[in-house]
């Protein structure tokens, strides 16, 4: 009888242990197809090496040197939004490969890069630099980022909440929303193109066609403006 009682208690304790899979935070991004996600990825700069590659440090060094020699705050801000898109693309590619730790860390890098972009945009404005065309460029890129966010969220729904990924994703979304607010301060109304606001879900935006891309692996008919990373 005692043995049966012990086994019963053990059984109950086993099923009282919380599951490793926590509820993921979800956001009301505009629903897009797999083809639209692939198109958005193509609009971001190509990725030569992912974080797990042994030569990735060379990519980081090149990025830092290239940014250092940007001639103005406006150019640094432009470079930062391009580089942030690359980080987001890397995070997505790492996630679909099952590399959750590096994907989460790359999302953290994305957040930091967007924060730097906002800082440089504000500095450019304080120095009376021309930023009108810059914020249009940022809006186009940030709109593409939102599509990739949807792709990451869909992939993340199938994975356990480990390595603090959910928190890194939340910070990335919040940094994106802050960037949207920053460009909206320059050109009021730009935020209406987006479904995220202050890091939380908002009502679904009306679908809008992608603008002519500035940064992509282009079709022959398109001559995109490129920034070499």
The 10s digit of each residue's pLDDT in 201-221 is 433 333 333 333 333 333 333
The 10s digit of each residue's pLDDT in 52-91 is 888 888 888 999 999 999 999 999 999 999 999 999 999 9
In the block, residue with structure tokens 């945009």: 121
What CA–CA distance (Å, rounded) separates 78 from 71? 11
What CA–CA distance (Å, rounded) separates 73 from 108? 23
Q: Give the tokens for residue 101.
A: 């730790």
Q: Which of 30-44, 47-61, 154-168 has the lowest mean pLDDT?
A: 154-168
- Nearest CA to 104 among 119, 118, 90, 85? 90
Whether the CB-CB separation of 26 and 153 falls below 8 Å is answered with yes
Residue 43 has pLDDT above 50, yes or no: yes
What CA–CA distance (Å, rounded) separates 59 from 53? 10
What CA–CA distance (Å, rounded) separates 38 from 85? 14
Share of the chain above pLDDT 70, in %: 72
Residue 96 has pLDDT above 50, yes or no: yes
* CB-side neighbour CA atoms (13 Å) of 180: 24
The 10s digit of each residue's pLDDT in 108-159 is 999 999 999 999 999 999 999 999 999 999 999 999 999 999 999 988 876 6
How do the domains of the chain map onto residue ranges? 32-198
What CA–CA distance (Å, rounded) separates 169 from 157? 12
């Amino acid at each position: 009888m005692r043995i049966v009682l012990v086994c019963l208690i053990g059984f109950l304790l086993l099923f009282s242990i919380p599951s490793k899979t926590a509820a993921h935070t979800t956001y009301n991004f505009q629903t897009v197809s797999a083809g639209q996600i692939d198109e958005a990825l193509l609009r971001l700069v190509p990725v030569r090496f992912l974080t797990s590659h042994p030569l990735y440090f060379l990519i980081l060094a090149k990025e830092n040197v290239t940014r250092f020699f940007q001639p103005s705050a406006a150019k640094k801000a432009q470079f930062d939004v391009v580089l942030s898109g690359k980080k987001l693309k890397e995070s997505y590619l790492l996630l679909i490969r099952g590399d959750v730790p590096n994907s989460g860390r790359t999302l953290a890098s994305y957040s930091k890069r967007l924060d730097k972009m906002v800082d440089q945009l504000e500095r450019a404005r304080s120095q009376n630099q021309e930023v009108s065309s810059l914020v249009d460029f940022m809006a186009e890129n940030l709109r593409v980022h939102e599509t990739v966010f949807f792709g990451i969220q869909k992939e993340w729904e199938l994975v356990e909440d480990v390595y603090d990924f959910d928190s890194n994703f939340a910070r990335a979304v919040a940094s994106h929303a802050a960037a949207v607010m920053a460009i909206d301060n320059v050109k009021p109304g730009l935020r209406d193109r987006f479904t995220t606001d202050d890091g939380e879900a908002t009502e679904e935006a009306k679908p809008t066609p992608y603008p002519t891309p500035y940064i992509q692996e282009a079709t022959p008919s398109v001559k995109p403006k490129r920034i070499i990373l």
